Amino acid sequence: MKNFIVKNMSDLITNSSSEVFCVITGPEEELQEIEDILDDIFGYNQDYEITPVVDMDDEGLVIDLPYSMTKNDKFMAYWNGAIQNLVKQFDNCKFNERL
């Protein structure tokens, strides 16, 4: 019998391979500018299992991380600080951590 680690109830419902790291809220123009910067850093990608994915939705700018990245505390601390510092450059935007 194989053991599985469940980090979030959404894992059971969606069989997700990533988790929402943060949501950035603010005016659409500023969110677009942040998205462009993050796409330059992470590269434009839509594969949630391999790299971070930055995507705009009704909630704001959503950054999803693959589970493999969420296991490394130093990685998480680095990107948490880096993205918060980026968001601070925009007066009307807010960083909302999810993990």
Residue 95, Cβ neighbours under 10 Å: how many? 20
Phi and psi angles of residue 97, each rounded to the nearest 5 degrees, phi first: -70, 145
Q: Examine residue 1 and state whether it is found in any structural domain, yes or no.
A: no
Full-model pTM: 0.77
pLDDT: is 49 or 95 the higher one? 95
80: helix, coil or strand?
A: helix
Q: Examine residue 87 and state whether it is found in any structural domain, yes or no.
A: yes
Q: Examine residue 3 and state whether it is found in any structural domain, yes or no.
A: no
Q: Examine residue 29 and state whether it is found in any structural domain, yes or no.
A: yes
- Determine the structural domain holding residue 82 and report its residue range: 9-97
Q: Examine residue 48 and state whether it is found in any structural domain, yes or no.
A: yes
pLDDT digits (tens, 9 = 90+) for 38-93: 999 888 776 777 888 899 999 999 998 888 888 889 988 998 999 999 999 999 99
pLDDT: is 50 or 36 the higher one? 36
Predicted confidence band at 4 (pLDDT cuts at 50, 70, 90)? very low
Count of domains for the chain = 1
Q: What is the CATH number of the domain that holds 36?
A: 3.30.70
Find the distance separating the first CA and the last CA of the chain, reported in whole Å.
29
Q: Examine residue 4 and state whether it is found in any structural domain, yes or no.
A: no
